[in-house]
Amino acid sequence: MSDIVKGNRVFAFTGEYQGKSGEVIGYQNVDFQTQQGCLVKLDENGSTVCIPGRDLNVENLSPQEIGTEITKLKKQVESMAHQIPQKLLKEIPEHLTYLQAALNSKNQAESRNEYQYISGELARAINPDFVSNNVSLKKLKYRC
């Protein structure tokens, strides 16, 4: 728990919320023995729950999980083809591939540049809410 700070992406590995992930937005005492829990905004439904710190780990995506999130984003972009200019429809998947390579090589500067380009273009082409509410983008941003 001491390694978990506000803004971290976490997942519950045990307990009532096992298998759920989200972002730490604050802290709260869980019981009268001053056991601290984390207020976590869950990815799946956006609700905020208090999860005991002992049930949480900081999310650290493996290369396979990065690949899964990139694939999800490419499919989402394809499904919204009618909203995206043709030029961007070609560029976004390419830049997602570049982002994946940068994240896997742990090149933070390149990762941030690619993420900023992708999120900026998607916000302009679709809408800013798509970027701020997209779980895959949140997970990838945390790795940048």
Q: What is the pLDDT of residues 34-67, one digit of tens each?
A: 567 899 999 988 899 999 988 999 998 999 999 9
CA nearest 120: which of 101, 92, 81, 97? 92
Give the pLDDT confidence of 81-129 residue by residue, as tens digits: 888 899 999 999 999 999 999 999 999 999 999 999 999 999 998 888 8
Predicted pLDDT at 83: 86
Residue 37 β-bridge partners: 28, 52
Domain at 9-58: CATH architecture: Roll (2.30)
As a whole number of angstroms, the distance between CA 86 and CA 121 comes to 12
d(CA 134, CA 127): 11
Q: Name the pLDDT band for 31 (thresholds 50, 70, 90).
A: low
User: Element (H or E) spanning 9, and its range?
Assistant: strand 9-12
In the chain, where the domains are located = 9-58, 63-143
Q: What is the rounded CA–CA span in Å between residue 111 and residue 89? A: 20
CB 25 within 8 A of CB 39: yes
Q: What is the pTM of this model?
A: 0.81
- Note the pLDDT of residue 36: 79
